Chain A
């Protein structure tokens, strides 16, 4: 069944489009009425972010509507883009080259093929077991022992976060949830949407009302006010949308809360890495956001948790 035949899916897409239209209009008005000052700066930043959001959303919605395979391909591309940003900042050396060739050209595509043929038994262990063992072996065979553990661990970590974790997003499309057949694209949009909304609201509320920094030595932007209001509002929206999910209202509330909290955890973790490497953003791919990994850092932590909770409590079979 095409995702467009599901009128709730259309409704959800319309909601996101609506939010983006409203934000675009509001930033447009702010930019027209403020020549300079902090409001203008915020509005300029928002305009950049919104434009990037539009592009990402159109790609994402297009992929969801085009079916599982296209969606899987899209997430594979996201994985590669995120991984290249991650490994560019990582302390890799020429000795890692062979392992990186395998990482980019064999392990990553294979993971998504396994997801696409919904071989849960293998895609859930391929990277944590097989790739985990293969990478140090490849590095050892090259024979460069300089900072061996650091380099090997970096590659393994990059694979886990940018490929393994992200691949659970398209894996959601193949979960068999009794009574929810053919509606899985909504579940994916629901999960990613809640995380992104939570990120966005945390940013807005943080700018607006933020006073107390959450982790001043890791992120200069995350505040307790933004955190509480952002996560709270995203959870509320997730709860209201329960009727589109296979969950009851209280379950949707709990899952939204967990997903939003995991998103915060992902954002903080990636901030710590960026801080350590002395950069503000992982890349420059998405103006206003930074790189791809800056945009999906929260998703990498949320999606696997959402997948496994849904699979454990609601799915049957694979």
Chain B
């Protein structure tokens, strides 16, 4: 736990991140935080910005191949922030969503990047359907859009050293499902919810 505290403090310092809870409070409700993805720091910093009791019950969803690549990353992902590690390319034996279902059934919150792989800075890709499936199967879990700004400057793609610029994290209000709304419409609206936060 001490390592987790130190790591969280370090992540907050390096990213200079300032959480802005514009649409919700940091309450211990079970949630899926879904955000735009521009840097490997995203998941760690978002996780670090949550108050400690929430942080202990919130698991970032991260790419298995990246986080298991070395002993340090493995230790951080598994021991510190209890990441749910999924295959970027779905493997035949297990669908990645099953792991997320298990985590939600156990009462944990998730940090999810519905774009999947990273795209070029400042562009928000179309959302993949995972978020919709989770929302269907876990209707009681709150969906919170989050916008991460300037993370691609702190650690752009392919860079190894983060530079200590300031970043900005905006938490929006819970994303409401609509009766009878189809998958694609839901995903478009979810993407717009994140984009709208980016304009604030």
Interface digits, A93-110 against B, CB 8 Å rule (1 contact, 0 not)? 110011011011100000
Measured CB to CB, the nearest residue on chain A to B121 is: A94
Residues of A within 8 Å of B, CB-based: how many?
A: 17
B166 touches A88 (CB 8 A): yes
Which one, A79-87, A131-139, A207-215, A250-258, is touching chain B? A79-87
User: 1/0 per residue B11-24: CB within 8 Å of A?
Assistant: 00000101000000
Interface flag for B152 (CB, 8 Å): yes
**A74 to B159 Cα, complex, angstroms:** 29
B113-151 toward A: CB 8 Å interface, digit per residue (1/0)? 000000001000000000000000000000000000010
Does B150 contact A101, Cβ atoms closer than 8 Å? no
Q: Are A100 and B163 interface neighbours, CB within 8 A?
A: yes
Main secondary structure of the interface of B (DSSP, over half): loop
Q: Is A11's CB within 8 Å of the partner chain B? A: no
- Taking the closest CB of chain B, its distance from the CB of A310, in whole angstroms, is 32
Instruction: Using known A-B contacts A84-B165, A94-B152, determine if residue A284 contacts B157 with beta carbons closer than 8 Å.
Output: no
- Inside 8 A of A284's CB, which chain B residues have their CB? 18
CB-CB contacts of B155-176 with A at 8 A, as 1s and 0s? Answer: 0110101011110000000000
**Separation of A85 and B165 alpha carbons in the complex (Å):** 7
| B82 proximity list for chain A (CB < 8 A) | none
CB distance A88 to B165 under 8 Å?
Answer: yes
B167 (CB) vs chain A CBs: closest residue = A88
Contact for A94 among B16, B18, B157, B164, CB less than 8 A: B157
| Cβ contact within 8 Å between A101 and B163 | yes
C-beta contact mask, B37-72 vs A, less than 8 Å → 1, else 0?
000000000000000000000000000000000000
Task: Please name all residues of chain A whose beta carbon is closer than 8 Å to the beta carbon of B152 when the two chains form the complex.
Answer: 94
Q: Does B153 contact A (CB under 8 A)?
A: yes
- Across the A-B interface, the 8 shortest Cβ-Cβ residue pairs: A94-B156, A88-B166, A100-B163, A101-B161, A88-B165, A84-B164, A97-B159, A97-B156
| Chain B interface residues (CB < 8 Å from chain A) | 16, 18, 121, 150, 152-153, 156-157, 159, 161, 163-166
With A84-B165, A87-B163, A105-B161 known, 8 other A-B pairs at CB within 8 A are A88-B153, A94-B156, A97-B153, A97-B156, A97-B159, A100-B163, A101-B161, A104-B163
What are 21 contact pairs spanning A and B, CB under 8 A?
A: A84-B16, A84-B164, A85-B166, A88-B16, A88-B153, A88-B165, A92-B165, A93-B153, A94-B152, A94-B156, A94-B157, A94-B159, A97-B156, A97-B163, A98-B159, A100-B165, A101-B159, A101-B161, A101-B163, A103-B163, A104-B163
